[in-house]
Amino acid sequence: MATPRFYSPVPLAALQTIELAPELAHHAIRVLRLKADTEIILFDGRGGEYPARLLIDGKSGYAQTGAHRPVEVELEGNITLVQGIPAGDKMDWVVEKAVELGVKRLIPITAERGVSQLNAERGMKRRLRWERIAQTASEQCGRNRLMQIDAPQSLQNCMDDITRDAQTLLFCHPEANKTLAQALQPGMASLTLLVGPEGGWSAAEQALALRHGLQAVKFGNRVLRTETAGLALIAACSALQHWH
């Protein structure tokens, strides 16, 4: 059985006894029913991990940490996914799988044709939920750095930010003339992918992307659902660029 891994919201240090956050302790002791002296792994999202021994005192949990291990499983290239927020709980799936595929940053977009339109309060609640999902996904897949999740925003609001540093910026469009393979640059270190919501990008959003130098690309001859398109593109880009 694999050693249980847990994300700690509290910064960790080597060779210390630390009290586990209540939610973490509850999950380890009450949900997973781990026993005292169980070997676990802790990480705090800053890189690397700490082997530790679980200690239990009633409902409280503690951990005796070992030496820091500089273990990293990040992709060799930085991928940012700009995702039009889909309806229902589909975004939960996108967040989880984006973590597993190695995405560094996810920017949720309240697109003009999007079914899901969030006000500031709902957007904050959804973001907190997505961050918890990302933490759990990191525990499962072995990542020791957390994927950054931005607050939901319009495409206009994020455009200057995403075009500042990325080498290659692509938006998915089923009628584009250029394929994904044609648009990728050998040896590039960063990539930003834009995927629209169920209704696709509006004409104004497409024009905005083109004015900022983004390239329209298509991925095969079939129209993929929004919750599938970004993940498929990420996997294909990683394979084509030999990012592991």
pLDDT tens string 45-71: 999 999 999 999 988 999 999 999 999
The predicted structure's pLDDT at residue 113: 84
**Rg of the chain on CA atoms, in Å:** 20
Whether 171 maps to a domain, the answer reads yes
Evaluate if residue 186 carries a pLDDT over 90.
Answer: no
Whether 112 maps to a domain, the answer reads yes
The β-bridge partners of 81 are: 106, 193
- Domain containing 49 — which CATH number? 2.40.240.20
CA distances from 97 to 4, 62, 79, 119, 234 (A): 20, 30, 13, 25, 10
136 and 69 Cβ atoms separated by less than 8 Å: no
- Domain containing 218 — which CATH number? 3.40.1280.10
CA distances from 209 to 68, 80, 82, 92, 177 (A): 43, 15, 12, 26, 16
Q: Are residues 215 and 94 in the same domain?
A: yes
Q: Are residues 84 and 58 in the same domain?
A: no
d(Cα 242, Cα 239) in Å, to the nearest integer? 5
Q: Are residues 36 and 85 in the same domain?
A: no
Whether 114 maps to a domain, the answer reads yes
Whether 71 maps to a domain, the answer reads no
Strands (E) across the chain are located at 5-7, 17-19, 39-43, 50-57, 60-65, 78-84, 105-109, 148-149, 168-172, 178-179, 190-195, 215-218
d(Cα 30, Cα 222) in Å, to the nearest integer? 46
Q: Are residues 52 and 82 in the same domain?
A: no
The predicted structure's pLDDT at residue 119: 82
Q: Are residues 25 and 59 in the same domain?
A: yes
pLDDT tens figures, 131-142: 999 999 999 999
Q: Are residues 128 and 206 in the same domain?
A: yes
Whether 174 maps to a domain, the answer reads yes
Last residue of a domain, one of 15, 41, 65: 65
Q: Are residues 113 and 228 in the same domain?
A: yes
CA distances from 86 to 14, 83, 113 (A): 42, 8, 10
Least Cα distance to 148 among 209, 192, 201 occurs for 192
Q: Are residues 116 and 54 in the same domain?
A: no
Whether 50 maps to a domain, the answer reads yes
The β-bridge partners of 79 are: 191
Whole domain around residue 182: which residue ranges?
Answer: 78-241
Work out the percent of the chain whose per-residue pLDDT is above 90: 80
Q: Are residues 83 and 41 in the same domain?
A: no
**Low-confidence winner among 9-18, 116-125, 174-183 (lowest mean pLDDT):** 116-125
Q: Are residues 89 and 136 in the same domain?
A: yes
Structural domains of the chain, count:
2
pLDDT tens figures, 157-177: 999 889 887 679 999 888 889
Whether 19 maps to a domain, the answer reads yes
Q: Are residues 135 and 231 in the same domain?
A: yes
d(Cα 2, Cα 136) in Å, to the nearest integer? 15
Q: Sort 83 into a burial class: Cβ within 10 Å, 0-12 / 13-18 / 19+.
A: buried
Q: Are residues 54 and 156 in the same domain?
A: no
5-7: strand order across its sheet: 5-7, 39-43, 50-57, 60-65, 17-19
The predicted structure's pLDDT at residue 1: 67
d(Cα 180, Cα 195) in Å, to the nearest integer? 13
The β-bridge partners of 106 are: 81, 149
Q: Mapping DSSP to helix (H, G, I), strand (E, B) and coil, where does residue 46 land? A: strand
